[in-house]
Chains A and B, each alone.
Chain A
Amino acid sequence: MLKSKTFVKKTRSGGVMKIVREHYLRDDIWCGSEVCTGCKQESTVLQKDACIESNLCSYPHYLIPDTNVVLHQIDVLEDPVIRNVIILQTVLQEVRHRSAPIYKRVKDMIHEKEKHFYTFTNEHHRETFIEREPGETANDRNDRAIRVSAKWYSQHLKPFEADTEGLKVVLLTNDLRNKQTAEESGFRMSSATVFIISGEEYIKSLIANPELVDRLALSNDEKVTNEITSSKLLYPEHLPLSRIQAGIKSGSFLQGTFRASRDNYLEATVFVQGEGEDGTEVLLQGLQNLNRAVHQDVVAVQLLPRNQWVAPSSVVLQDEGAAKDDNVDEEEEENTLKESATESVRKPTGKVVGIIKRNWRPFCGMLNVSQIKESTRHLFTPADRRIPRIRIETRQAATLAGQRIMVAIDGWPKDSRYPNGHFVRSLGSAGEKETEEEVLLLEHDVPHQAFSQAVLSFLPKMPWAITPEEMAKRMDLRHLTVCSVDPPGCTDIDDALHCRELENGNLEVGVHIADVSHFIRPGNALDKEAANRGTTVYLCGKRIDMVPELLSSNLCSLRSNVERLAFSCIWEMNHKAEILSTKFTKSIINSKASLTYAEAQMRIDDTSMNDEITTSLRGLNKLAKILKRQRIEKGALTLSSLEVRFHMDSETHDPIELQTKELMETNSMVEEFMLLANISVAQKIYDEFSECALLRKHPAPPPSNYDILLKAAKSKNVEIHTDSAKALADSLDGARVKDFPYFNTLLRILATRCMMQAVYFCSGMDSDFHHYGLASPIYTHFTSPIRRYADIIVHRLLAVAIGADSTYADLMDKHKQSALCNNLNYRHKMAQYAQRSSVAFHTQLFFKSRGILNEEGFVLFVRKNAIIVLIPKFGLEGTVFFDSKDKTAPNIVFDEEGPTLTVEQHTFHIFDKVKVTISLDASNIQHQKIRMALTEPVIPGVSVPVPDVEPQAKKPKLDR
């Protein structure tokens, strides 16, 4: 078996270490083709009838792409038309080295049975392995290895040519030099069956799929000839990686993640990770300094001399209009940026000198069809405003106009104003709800495909019932009066509660959580899928489940009057809500009622009701109030953000009414017990597994985050203390202004914006556990396993801690867990963004049907050329611009200190009450916007007249 033709491979790393590795060559690596009778393979991947209709290759053929074809034409390779491809190990390794995302995509294709992609381990095959020769570069050697393998294949398959209508091997390469070398070395002569074709030629020759041509990435040589070459290089050259690394080492360059500004396309920041937790931000301004970096790229920046530092501009600037010529002077655009700023607000400013790692993904967006009818070059505007516009080539512009499409970037030459890209696929007509939802999910990287068969195969078989063995292992709590309280329409009920008086006069309180970890066993496809999704995503009128519906809405959901498995946390408390004992157990419950918050509130308030459920609720409510008071005394924050709720039309699923969510006592009652359960569980799992407990922390924000809050409060003569959470909570409580009842809520909204993100982490990898917002030394998530994966892990840990389940390797591996936490944090963030976008989209739909409204609002922020207004009635935020392109700009004075903005004679402060008109601006179908215009105070030439349409009579209720 082991054909040990040993030889050594030398690689030198770092200084002068000589590393010797063995390399075994084998002769039991098979070709993977169905037609071959010589290889003793068990299963084959490549088909006998390998037909892709092509002008160039009229015979069945296998494709062997070289590394560059895989890297650049991955979108084409992914098309279902392309089948029977041989991926050489050399190619796979190079791809892995050069681009992790593409590597993953290639691997996915290999796993897909219908694609018939075969990996040939050529580097270990006795006949296809080659050694590097003196004077040969690593790249040349790999190119040669690819040629040798292609040749081997053609000779290997030659004997079967007759049976297969002339099956041939086609080597795809875009590298002219490689192609030439292949031809020169008599490649074609010696074996007439190998054809070397460039990737483009081949794809253009495909008969059935003309649209595939659009997905072609532009290759280097084509760019040179076709580019509208401008004499002037628009951007400075990027430095080579070696220089960058040397510069970073010597400290002259900084490495960081490029974050484009959402509001200003000429501005970006680079976040440089410093030592420990803190990092610094470097400001970049102007296209030259941004130097072709794209949002999320890892870049190297060089700081400019101190006298060239600038302040972040508060101007909102968007790259709009027709394609700009490459040689147009940018100065005009950039002039708007150059404003003198006081020394104090200047920030470290720099320029991008090189790209360390591109982080390009396919982007959703729309095509701006070129004015020239015949043109095949068009500009594409991504939905994400942080991504620059991309120039693509397509022949289907007319069809694609008005559609949402996906485009991938191929490169950004230094003489091109825009990056070059290619069309990937169409998502549907813009503005349609399905399309927009798809865009939203794609843009936020939310996995939303239907669950695969592999995943579904791990679901319990229906009809499902609790087995007697399971019954014996669990505590039977069916007799207890357990009930659940949730928002209306909730079908995934994770939690239920009970409270009863014990014989000794104390109270027993139980929190019962759906036992999802009973159904989802570690490591199977279902578990992996859930771990990848990380969380259920709630959009308006739509839910993207983390686990299949059978579990989320049925077997795990703690519905009333059915027996369900639960994980219970039971406390014995006295009437002062002091915990006397805590017990965790797997249990069986039978919920007596599924209530909404409003229903529960009614029962508590209705003195005539005295049934078991109601007394239980009252007990809970009483304890919750004490718990909440205790928590606030310890310094927990109560913050505020306006959440809106749409009433949907049951037929069209269009929003018909918009309402800010109202909070009731029962909301807080449920929340209090969930917090308590989470804290109790966190402590328990940390005690048991100090190295690998999955916890959640909320870091204290750096003091500078509070600047805006302090300034805003000061303008109303209110003092806010931010030294500790407790001080902040107390001063927020005391902050009241006469005749301005909404002030406190506004202040809390501002305070919320100052906070940091709470994150999951693994206890063995971190030392700071504190949860700032809840003022708890330790915290985790235990109570929503149906919709959060973190809770499933916590359930598993707790189950091991109480001896109800056994561990498995990954659960105890802190590095794996840490990696999981990173994914969960990412998914959570993305889910939040997706949710916000969904609300924004539905708000737009709502206003579309309303025409122009006139509403009262408050100034939330003041910017250089605009104010941001909050309309409490709709929980809606919008920007009122004071300078627009078509009108002469009014006289605007911006005061950084206030901050205030003086427009003509009127000065705007934060918290000012204003009236605005709200309308939907659908002029740009991609970025439909809510447009706000000022009606009150009246500023001549700036404000607009009150619209004729009578605003709805209802006065917004502001205080609560």
Chain B
Amino acid sequence: MATAQVSEAEKVYILHGIREDLRVDGRGCEDYRHMEIETDVVSNTDGSAKVTLGHTAVLVGIKAEIGKPRPMIPNEGYLEFFVDCSANATPEFEGRGGEELGTEISNTLYKVFNNKHSVDLQSLCISPGEHCWVLYVDVLLLQCDGNLYDATSVAIKAALFSTKIPRVHISTDDEGGKEIELSDDPYDCMRIQVENVPCIVTLCKVGHRHVVDATLQEKACSVASLIISVTHKGTVTCTRKVGGGSLDPESVFEMTEAGKRVGKALHAPLMKLLQHEESLGRKTPKVGFLG
């Protein structure tokens, strides 16, 4: 895991600041850093988004493939997650160094996103029991400066929003054999409802208080954090405690409340931004990494 070395004096400085609701970079405890979102950055994916949160940078690409539905749920499609902690983010990830973190994040992503309450999985079904869409959600960590979960979840939501799945229909021939036919019109595609897709808010317990969107330094001062996924209505769909330390029930409760508040407030501007970008259409050139 990408970590920062923090001296004792620095630690005290950070702790004291947070106690006063004033963080090193000037934010309050429930403030996010500057966030940039851009969708459709990788043209050969069906949906993609790039999110930068402070120095943390995440790129998500979604590819839709036709697969077979899971036997237990024949009328639903499903999502697959893969998190690539590349060596670009930090030399520690070189070789197999990033695998552990990648698996940890992707397991959480499965829990948060791969259920019918978050994504309308039934709309991904093509013919029950035979064909369905499988969305491969690939997360690429480009730079780590803390709060990977939040950045990743926002990027996934944005990427899902921008995903265009080609429209298909099933034709049946005389012998009853089924054939999948792709629509001839490249503009004819299916979109994914992202309204109910939750965002993850990570709260770090620092001293007696907790902060959202912790930087690496702040994280180094924290003993444990809580991950909460929240929908636009403020419903909590998943919580998880991560990190080595322990939390008392009271602060878990407090942190959940704070998470709900922050998470709920995150959705509206995000959707507004995404819709604005969509309305610009293809006329404005993509900035990508060149900006």
Residues of A near any B CB (own CB < 8 A): 8, 10, 12, 15-16, 18-20, 132-138, 242-243, 246-247, 250, 252
Q: Are A246 and B179 in contact (CB under 8 A)?
A: yes
Q: Are A135 and B44 in contact (CB under 8 A)?
A: no
Contacts of B187 in A (CB 8 A): 132-135
A6 to B187, CA, bound (A): 19
Contacts of A136 in B (CB 8 A): 185
Which residues of chain B from 93 to 110 have a CB within 8 Å of any chain A CB? none
A133 to B281, CA, bound (A): 13
Smallest CB gap from A22: residue in B:
B43
A526 to B86, CA, bound (A): 59
Pick from A12, A138, A247: contact of B173, CB under 8 Å: A247
Instruction: Check B160 for interface membership: any CB of A closer than 8 A.
Output: no
Which residues of chain B from 152 to 175 have a CB within 8 Å of any chain A CB? 166, 171, 173-175
Given the contacts A10-B186, A137-B184, A137-B185, A246 and B177 also touching, CB distance less than 8 Å:
yes
Contacts of A138 in B (CB 8 A): 184
Q: Are A242 and B181 in contact (CB under 8 A)?
A: yes
Given the contacts A246-B173, A246-B179, A132 and B186 also touching, CB distance less than 8 Å:
yes
Q: Which 4 A-B pairs have the closest CB atoms?
A: A134-B187, A20-B44, A20-B43, A246-B173
Which residues of chain B from 170 to 212 have a CB within 8 Å of any chain A CB? 171, 173-175, 177, 179-182, 184-187
Question: Nearest Cβ distance between residue B103 and chain A, in whole angstroms?
Answer: 27
Smallest CB gap from A134: residue in B:
B187
Smallest CB gap from A131: residue in B:
B282
Q: Are A135 and B185 in contact (CB under 8 A)?
A: yes
Contacts of B262 in A (CB 8 A): none
| Given A15-B65, A132-B187, A133-B187: 18 more A-B contacts, CB < 8 Å | A8-B43, A10-B186, A12-B182, A15-B66, A16-B166, A18-B46, A18-B63, A19-B44, A20-B43, A135-B185, A136-B185, A242-B181, A243-B173, A246-B177, A247-B173, A250-B173, A250-B175, A252-B174
Q: Are B166 and A134 in contact (CB under 8 A)?
A: no
Question: Nearest Cβ distance between residue B54 and chain A, in whole angstroms?
Answer: 31
Smallest CB gap from A19: residue in B:
B44
Q: Can you list 11 A-B pairs, Cβ within 8 angstroms, ordered by A?
A: A8-B43, A12-B186, A15-B66, A16-B65, A132-B186, A134-B185, A134-B187, A138-B184, A247-B173, A250-B177, A252-B175
Instruction: Check B64 for interface membership: any CB of A closer than 8 A.
Output: yes
Contacts of B65 in A (CB 8 A): 15-16
Instruction: Check B127 for interface membership: any CB of A closer than 8 A.
Output: no
Question: Nearest Cβ distance between residue A354 and chain B, in whole angstroms?
Answer: 13
Contacts of B179 in A (CB 8 A): 242, 246
Contacts of B175 in A (CB 8 A): 250, 252
Chain B residues within 8 Å of chain A by Cβ, number:
22
Question: Nearest Cβ distance between residue B107 and chain A, in whole angstroms?
Answer: 27
Contacts of A10 in B (CB 8 A): 186
Contacts of B44 in A (CB 8 A): 18-20
Contacts of A242 in B (CB 8 A): 171, 179, 181
Contacts of A12 in B (CB 8 A): 166, 182, 186
Contacts of B46 in A (CB 8 A): 18
Smallest CB gap from A13: residue in B:
B182
Instruction: Check B123 for interface membership: any CB of A closer than 8 A.
Output: no
Question: Nearest Cβ distance between residue A634 and chain B, in whole angstroms?
Answer: 53
Instruction: Check B114 for interface membership: any CB of A closer than 8 A.
Output: no
Smallest CB gap from A243: residue in B:
B173
Given the contacts A132-B186, A137-B185, A250-B177, A16 and B43 also touching, CB distance less than 8 Å:
no
Contacts of B237 in A (CB 8 A): none
Instruction: Check B118 for interface membership: any CB of A closer than 8 A.
Output: no
Contacts of B166 in A (CB 8 A): 12, 16
Given the contacts A10-B186, A137-B184, A242-B181, A18 and B45 also touching, CB distance less than 8 Å:
yes
A288 to B44, CA, bound (A): 49
Smallest CB gap from A15: residue in B:
B66
Smallest CB gap from A14: residue in B:
B182
A136 to B184, CA, bound (A): 10
Contacts of B181 in A (CB 8 A): 242
A19 to B173, CA, bound (A): 28
Contacts of B64 in A (CB 8 A): 16
Question: Nearest Cβ distance between residue B79 and chain A, in whole angstroms?
Answer: 15
A628 to B185, CA, bound (A): 70
A16 to B184, CA, bound (A): 12
Smallest CB gap from A8: residue in B:
B43
A634 to B184, CA, bound (A): 63
A754 to B228, CA, bound (A): 83
Smallest CB gap from A245: residue in B:
B179
Which residues of chain B from 206 to 237 have a CB within 8 Å of any chain A CB? none
Pick from B66, B173, B185, B186: contact of A16, CB under 8 Å: B66
A8 to B42, CA, bound (A): 11
A136 to B181, CA, bound (A): 18
A133 to B63, CA, bound (A): 24
Contacts of A135 in B (CB 8 A): 185, 187
A246 to B180, CA, bound (A): 10
Contacts of A247 in B (CB 8 A): 173
Q: Are B177 and A16 in contact (CB under 8 A)?
A: no
A15 to B44, CA, bound (A): 15
Contacts of A137 in B (CB 8 A): 184-185
Smallest CB gap from A11: residue in B:
B186
Question: Nearest Cβ distance between residue B48 and chain A, in whole angstroms?
Answer: 11
Smallest CB gap from A252: residue in B:
B175
Question: Nearest Cβ distance between residue B248 and chain A, in whole angstroms?
Answer: 50
A133 to B65, CA, bound (A): 25
A16 to B163, CA, bound (A): 14
A19 to B45, CA, bound (A): 9
Contacts of A246 in B (CB 8 A): 173, 177, 179
A132 to B43, CA, bound (A): 18
A315 to B53, CA, bound (A): 86
Question: Nearest Cβ distance between residue A637 and chain B, in whole angstroms?
Answer: 48
Given the contacts A134-B187, A250-B173, A252-B175, A16 and B182 also touching, CB distance less than 8 Å:
yes
Smallest CB gap from A250: residue in B:
B177
Question: Nearest Cβ distance between residue A242 and chain B, in whole angstroms?
Answer: 7
Contacts of B63 in A (CB 8 A): 18
Smallest CB gap from B172: residue in A:
A246
A20 to B45, CA, bound (A): 9
Smallest CB gap from A247: residue in B:
B173
A133 to B181, CA, bound (A): 21
Smallest CB gap from B133: residue in A:
A16
A132 to B282, CA, bound (A): 13
Contacts of A134 in B (CB 8 A): 185, 187
Per-position binary interface string of chain B over residues 113-124, scored 1 when its CB falls under 8 Å from any chain A CB and 0 otherwise: 000000000000
Contacts of B45 in A (CB 8 A): 18
Specify which of B171, B174, B186 lies most central, judged by the most chain A CB atoms within 10 Å of its CB: B186
Question: Nearest Cβ distance between residue B68 and chain A, in whole angstroms?
Answer: 13
Question: Nearest Cβ distance between residue A12 and chain B, in whole angstroms?
Answer: 6
A10 to B182, CA, bound (A): 13
A252 to B177, CA, bound (A): 11
Smallest CB gap from A251: residue in B:
B175
Question: Nearest Cβ distance between residue A439 and chain B, in whole angstroms?
Answer: 45
Question: Nearest Cβ distance between residue A94 and chain B, in whole angstroms?
Answer: 16
A138 to B182, CA, bound (A): 14
Contacts of B180 in A (CB 8 A): 15
Question: Nearest Cβ distance between residue A21 and chain B, in whole angstroms?
Answer: 10
Question: Nearest Cβ distance between residue A625 and chain B, in whole angstroms?
Answer: 66
A412 to B177, CA, bound (A): 31
Per-position binary interface string of chain B over residues 39-83, scored 1 when its CB falls under 8 Å from any chain A CB and 0 otherwise: 000011110000000000000000111100000000000000000
Contacts of A19 in B (CB 8 A): 44
A250 to B175, CA, bound (A): 9
A423 to B43, CA, bound (A): 52
Question: Nearest Cβ distance between residue B245 and chain A, in whole angstroms?
Answer: 45
A18 to B173, CA, bound (A): 26
Question: Nearest Cβ distance between residue B282 and chain A, in whole angstroms?
Answer: 8
Question: Nearest Cβ distance between residue B178 and chain A, in whole angstroms?
Answer: 10
Question: Nearest Cβ distance between residue B187 and chain A, in whole angstroms?
Answer: 4
Question: Nearest Cβ distance between residue B127 and chain A, in whole angstroms?
Answer: 15
A137 to B188, CA, bound (A): 11
A16 to B182, CA, bound (A): 8
A243 to B179, CA, bound (A): 10
